[in-house]
Chain A
Amino acid sequence: MKKISVKICTGTACYVMGGCDFLELPSALSESLLTKVEIAGTNCLGLCKEVDRPEELKYPPFVMINEKVYSPSSLGHLIELVTEEVKLNE
């Protein structure tokens, strides 16, 4: 099965607004989940510069899970989002 891609933006704004917490994702996920995802920190995804963002994507940090953009409020929230996506994929 194709792995779920999780791209964590590490542009300055995303990093300081929580992106650096998100980089701890590999050690926070269960082993079974970990085998199903591919986690990477990336250079600025440029999302903060897009003008027409919906309300829920108003503030960084941004994470892309399989090309869909999210703005998780905490590491726990990100884990929820990833878990959901893995379930959908199965």
Chain B
Amino acid sequence: MSKTINNAIRLKREILLQTIDVFLQDKPFEKLEEIPYRIIPDGADSYRCCIHKDRAVIRSRILSVLGYGFEDIDKGPVFLAEYAKGIEKRKNFSDEVVTVIGDACSSCVETGYSVTEACRGCLARPCVSSCPVDAISFIDGKSVIDKSLCINCGKCAGVCPFSAIINKKAPCTLSCPADAIVKTNKGLAEIDRSKCINCGQCIVSCPFAAVVEKSQVVDLILSMKRGVPINVLVAPSHRGQFPGSSAQLYKALGLLGFKNVVEISEAAEECAKEESMEFLEKKDSQPFMTTSCCPAWVSFANKHLPTIVDKISHTASPMAIAADRLKKSDPYSLIAFIGPCTAKKNEAREIGSVDFVLSFEEVAMLLVSKGIDVLDLEIPDQENLHRDGTKFAFSGGVTSAVEKFIDKDDLVAFKPIQIDGLNKKNKALLKAASMNKNAGNFYEIMACAGGCVAGPGTICPPEAAVRKINNEK
């Protein structure tokens, strides 16, 4: 799913900006309480039942910017300033990256099986006889499902000769490739952590913006304020996400206070090279190999397709390669990664060398808060562009980068398959592959359809981003 600007996204970014302002501009933490009132002033139109609920939801959003999930906050009257003070005491970030704002979730209760207008009220009434819990009755000549009894087994939908019974799903459950979203009996979305792969599809799909990620942006600001040196790794997909050229962006990041800016595409190129060697080494001994750069895919394999795990390339991801090198050359600085990905937060925790993971959206708001106009910056000499590495940003790019490192003679044996997004069809393909019914021997797998340029933390439309990557000199 690609995201385009709408009211929900604008509101979310405005809250992010105003929250960042408080920390970046050294305002007292108490100022956080003003944000809901500034965004929804007295007399404003409300999005929900009333402006008070709107403000309550904004307050919850502020908490997610402060890095809190709704599992770990007190339900009692605690001031935002208290939460802000708690950030300094935070030891490490939680694995549970994605979280649901209960107040914002519209509890799309109208989910599950229901009878549509197409019901003819037929004589046979197979829906009634097929229902194992007697949840279906006839009212005014039409079939009606009693929601309090229905167990969502779907038998009625299968037998209706008019296909009049449909299974309605909430956008979050529909978008989740891991079936990790469960609805409580009140209809609220809840994340099943044993299944969640932190891909962030639910964040993108919810029209109420009720699913959010726990941010690390304030932690980063506070570390910078304490004078901790922080180097920054920039994902290849940054092109198009900010105005101006890459060189201007790197300069802007320097002005934000990062010590050194490292573009990951060089490491990505290395990753492609290593993956090509690994492929050649393994092509005769194992039926296929998959890419390893997408952390949501790796998590999906571990949680949902364990038999495929040993086929995932052992080559480290571009982020891990770049972080490792940076740690060796500058061991006393922290490392931040900026990218479009929610799942990278989990990868960062696992590899241990990356201290903060920020989205493009968050970095953009840091720039706005500091008043840095990227387009106005003088362009330093353009550095060498690692064109093959930049291709890691979109689907098909990894394959073409790996392909380049394979000799002509070996190329006949290279049979790539692209898994562009973990949709039903692609999941079936992967399942078949895991049972050795594979169509190719090199699977490029991206959890987001379109690749990283379509990730949940992006700003700009994926097509525009791809255009910019291909046009950069």
Contacts and interface: CB of A to CB of B under 8 A. Distances in A.
A24 B467 CA distance: 11
A16 B361 contact: yes
B186 interface: no
A10 B375 CA distance: 8
B10 interface: yes
Contacts of A16: 13, 242, 361, 364-365, 367-368, 459
Contacts of B7: 73-74
Give the bracket for the number of chain A residues in contact with chain B. Answer: 20 to 34
Interface in B383-431: none
Contact of B460 (A13, A20, A43, A59): A20
Nearest to A78: B5
A10 B460 CA distance: 12
A23 B244 CA distance: 13
Interface in B277-295: none
Contacts, number: 70
A12 B10 CA distance: 14
B375 A74 contact: no
Give the bracket for the number of chain B residues in contact with chain A. Answer: 20 to 34
Contacts of A74: 4-7
Nearest to B3: A21
Contacts of B69: none
Interface string A1-44: 00000000011110111111101100000000000000000011
Nearest to A21: B5
Interface of A: 10-13, 15-21, 23-24, 43-44, 59, 61, 73-75
Contacts of B14: 17, 59
B55 to A, nearest CB: 17
Contacts of A23: 464
Contacts of B367: 12, 16
Nearest to B365: A16
B375 A24 contact: no
Nearest to A13: B368
A75 B4 contact: yes
B375 A44 contact: yes
Given A10-B375, A20-B461, A15 B6 contact: no
B135 interface: no
A12 B5 contact: no
B323 interface: no
A15 B464 contact: no
Nearest to B41: A55
B117 interface: no
Contacts of B364: 12, 15-16
Nearest to A43: B375
B240 interface: yes
6 closest residue pairs by CB, A with B: A18-B5, A16-B364, A20-B460, A15-B243, A21-B5, A13-B368
B466 to A, nearest CB: 12
Interface string B104-147: 00000000000000000000000000000000000000000000
A43 B373 CA distance: 9
Contact of A11 (B6, B9, B375, B463): B375
Nearest to A19: B243
14 contacts: A10-B243, A12-B364, A12-B372, A15-B243, A16-B459, A17-B13, A20-B240, A21-B4, A24-B461, A43-B376, A44-B373, A44-B375, A61-B5, A73-B7
